């Protein structure tokens, strides 16, 4: 019975008299505030309008650059590699150094050939490249 | 016929742009925040940076998420200024702020620019999106069309809590809800669920919820709200203006004083009842918080005391009873706003 009395305060179809009318109005407004906040919070937590990824500043910088292709040269310990973007794909070309050396990109290995472009699994120009020579030595190539 | 040659010298970019400026790809955000935190310098540059990112974050959001329910340049500017103020001066309890202002946290934790932007703008729970959430919640209460959506959400919640089972999603996501019918159903796209609910031709919320869950599988409460809203349409087609009843009365010292004084006259069980009503709590939640209200006499007494010793006293103090145009709802709104300010733990 006490449950019915309490619940009736939220029921807009139940008539209330005297100060109970104010209490029922308080319940109605409270319920609406709670529902509004919960709905807004649910949508925020679900990320309905959220695109969490912000582009890297470097990507923004190159997006603003209207040259046809992007190129950078990396060098270190006698090796020179040119990375360029062509038709939305990235390639690497070994300009100087021993053929057969590999670039390590995350967990992928890309074997280089002197003067030939090979596909590179990157989305933007890296800050540096890691090259493994034929003896297994790891060489860091910086941008020049 | 005489050929007219263009004067290419006048349009050569190499003459007009010299020496050539190269773009600087370095990230300035950490230094801007650091210098602003140190002595308030670079505020204009930092604010400009904020505005740029907030304009991007705000792009997908509809009108309902902005001040006065309108997505205008002014509304986005206002959002940017408030996000900046919030980062500069409002301590946040949650991770990663731990009781510090966001700017102070960024400096003390040595965050890089990407992390600062993530927590300020782009994260699902960023400072900017919290403000958008609050504006949306405000509009949901004040705009007649949106208010209908909030009420629909509440009614759907009552059905879900009464007849469905929550399915946790984890990682701070709201639960999905499912019906334990025991039967296997092929899960259909949301568009099919909308069409099926529409074909019911009923206003019965429970029937609509069950049909949506049967067709589309487990759904969150907010997703169900959008399905049923899309299927049935909002019944209010005009007067989309935001309710002009603003919370300005809450700024009056008199209202605060009246609320604080009346609050102090209430017993603990009265206060528990008011808090439960303001939160839209169920009776079970009320009893869990205040076991003394576990009988009809106690509830009836508390309702009577809350009405006469608190709500009537406060509404009289703010002149509501003398205002012929005032409705119980317009009288209650400022009281709840002041309660949320005075006792945020219980009412905010």
Domain ranges, ordered by start, for chain B: 29-140, 144-232, 248-347
pLDDT of residue B5: 53
pLDDT computed for residue B330 by the predictor: 80
Tell me what the mean pLDDT of segment A33-37 comes to.
Answer: 92
Q: What is the pLDDT of residues A85-134, one digit of tens each?
A: 776 678 899 999 988 899 988 888 889 988 888 888 888 888 889 999 88
Most confident by average pLDDT, A125-129, B23-27, B84-88, B331-335: B84-88
**Are B141 and A28 inside 8 Å of each other by CB?**
no
Whether residue A19 is predicted with pLDDT greater than 90 in this model: the reply is: no
Q: In this model, does residue A59 exceed pLDDT 60? A: no
Asked whether the beta carbons of residue A18 and residue B307 sit closer than 8 angstroms, the reply is: yes
CB < 8 Å to A43, chain B: 133, 136, 222
In order, the DSSP letters of B154-219 are: HHHHHHHHHH-EEE---TTPPPEEE-----------HHHHHHHHHHH----HHHHHHHHHHHH-SE
Place of tokens 């919290």: B130
For the stretch B7-53, pLDDT in tens is: 545 554 554 555 565 666 678 899 999 999 999 999 999 999 999 99
The answer to whether B273 and B263 are in contact (CB under 8 A) is no
Q: What is the pLDDT of residue B118?
A: 92
ipTM > 0.90, yes or no: no
CA dist B324 and A142 (Å) reads: 78
Least CB-CB distance to A22: which of B121, B132, B328? Answer: B328
Cβ–Cβ gap B295/A2 under 8 Å: yes
Q: Which of B218, B209, B215 is nearest to B175 (CA)?
A: B218
Give pLDDT tens digits for B108-165.
999 999 999 999 999 999 999 999 999 999 999 888 889 999 999 999 999 998 899 9
Closest CA to B231 of B264, B194, B188, B202: B194
Q: What is the model's pLDDT at position B248? A: 52
Question: Does the beta carbon of A95 lie under 8 angstroms from any beta carbon of chain B?
Answer: no
Which residues on chain A are in Cβ contact (under 8 Å) with B328? 21-22, 24-25
**pLDDT tens for residues B177-187?**
998 777 777 88
pLDDT of residue B24: 61
Residue closest to B29 by CA, chosen among B110, B127, B91, B85? B110
Least Cα separation, residue A84 to chain B (angstroms): 18
Tell me the nearest-neighbour CA distance from B89 into chain A, angstroms: 23
pLDDT band at A56 (very low <50, low <70, confident <90, very high): low
At residue B234, the pLDDT reads 78
Q: Who among B117, B222, B327 is closest to A54 (CB)?
A: B117
Lowest-pLDDT choice from A73-77, B145-149, B253-257: B253-257
Q: Mark yes or no for CB contact A35/B122 under 8 Å.
A: no
Query: CB distance from A11 to chain B under 8 Å?
Result: no
pLDDT at residue A68 in the model: 46
Omega prior to B19 cis, within 30 of 0: yes
Shortest Cα–Cα distance, A108 to chain B (Å): 26
Looking at residues B244-249, what average pLDDT do you find?
49
Which range has the worst mean pLDDT, A52-56, B173-177, B219-223, B245-249?
A: B245-249
**Predicted confidence (pLDDT) at residue B242 exceeds the cutoff of 60:** no
For residue B232, the distance in angstroms to the closest alpha carbon of chain A comes to: 18
Residue to mutate among A24, A43, A70, with most B CBs inside 10 A, is: A43
Does the beta-carbon distance from A29 to B151 stay under 8 Å?
no
Query: Which residue does chain A place closest to B300, by CA atoms?
Result: A5
Whole-number pLDDT of residue B229: 94
Q: CB-based contact (8 Å) between A78 and chain B?
A: no
Global pTM reads 0.70
Shortest alpha-carbon distance between residue A75 and chain B (Å): 21
CA distance readout (Å), B234 to A11, A42, B227, B242: 21, 20, 12, 16
The answer to whether A49 contacts B307, with C-beta atoms less than 8 Å apart, is no
Closest CA to B76 of B97, B52, B99: B52
Give B307's contacts in chain A (Cβ within 8 Å).
Answer: 18-20, 22-23
| Helix H or strand E encompassing A3 | helix A2-8
Cβ contact, residue pair A36, B221, below 8 Å: no
Report CB contact under 8 Å: A23, B311.
yes
Is the per-residue pLDDT at B316 higher than 60? Answer: yes
Q: Report percent pLDDT > 70 for chain B.
A: 86
Shortest Cα–Cα distance, A105 to chain B (Å): 22
């Amino acid at each position: 019975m006490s449950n019915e009395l309490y619940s009736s305060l939220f029921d807009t179809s139940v008539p209330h008299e005297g100060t109970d009318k104010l209490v029922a109005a308080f319940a109605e407004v409270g319920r609406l505030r709670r529902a509004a906040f919960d709905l807004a919070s649910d949508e925020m937590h679900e990320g309905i309008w959220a695109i969490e990824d912000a582009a890297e500043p470097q990507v923004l910088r190159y997006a603003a650059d209207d040259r046809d292709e992007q190129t950078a040269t990396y060098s270190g310990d006698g090796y020179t590699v040119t990375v360029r973007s062509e038709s939305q794909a990235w390639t690497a070309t070994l300009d100087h150094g021993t053929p057969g050396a590999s670039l390590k990109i995350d967990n992928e290995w890309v074997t280089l050939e002197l003067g030939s472009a090979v596909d590179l699994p990157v989305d933007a120009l890296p800050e540096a490249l890691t090259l493994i020579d034929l003896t297994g030595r790891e060489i860091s190539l910086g941008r020049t | 016929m005489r050929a007219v040659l263009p004067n290419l010298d006048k349009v050569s970019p190499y003459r007009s742009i010299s020496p050539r400026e190269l773009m600087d790809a370095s990230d300035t955000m950490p230094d801007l925040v650091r210098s602003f935190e140190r002595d308030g310098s670079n505020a204009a540059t930092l604010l400009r940076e904020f505005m740029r990112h907030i304009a991007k974050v705000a792009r997908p959001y509809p009108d309902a998420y902005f001040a006065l329910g309108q997505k205008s340049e002014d509304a986005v500017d206002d959002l940017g200024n408030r996000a900046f103020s919030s980062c500069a001066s409002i301590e946040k309890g949650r991770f990663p702020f731990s009781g510090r202002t966001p700017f102070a946290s960024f400096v003390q934790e040595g965050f890089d620019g990407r992390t600062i932007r993530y927590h300020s703008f782009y994260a699902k729970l960023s400072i900017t999106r919290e403000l958008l959430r609050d504006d949306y919640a405000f509009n949901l209460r004040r705009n007649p069309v949106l208010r209908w959506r909030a009420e629909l959400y509440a009614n759907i919640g009552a059905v879900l809590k009464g007849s469905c089972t929550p399915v946790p999603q984890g990682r701070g996501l709201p639960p999905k809800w499912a019906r334990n019918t025991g039967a296997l159903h092929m899960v259909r796209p949301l568009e099919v669920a909308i069409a099926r609910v529409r074909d019911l031709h009923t206003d019965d919320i429970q029937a609509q919820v069950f049909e949506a869950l049967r067709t589309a599988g487990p759904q969150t409460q907010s997703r169900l709200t959008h399905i049923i809203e899309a299927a049935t349409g909002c019944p209010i087609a005009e007067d989309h203006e935001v309710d002009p009843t603003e919370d300005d009365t809450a700024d009056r010292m008199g209202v605060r004083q009246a609320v604080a004084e009346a609050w102090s006259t209430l017993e603990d069980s009265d206060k528990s009842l008011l808090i439960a009503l303001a939160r839209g709590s169920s009776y079970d939640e009320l009893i869990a918080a205040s076991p003394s209200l576990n009988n009809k006499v106690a509830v009836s007494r508390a309702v009577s005391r809350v009405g006469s010793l608190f709500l009537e006293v406060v509404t009289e103090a703010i002149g509501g009873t003398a205002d012929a145009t005032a409705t119980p709802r317009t009288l209650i709104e400022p009281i709840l706003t002041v309660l949320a300010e005075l006792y945020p733990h219980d009412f905010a």
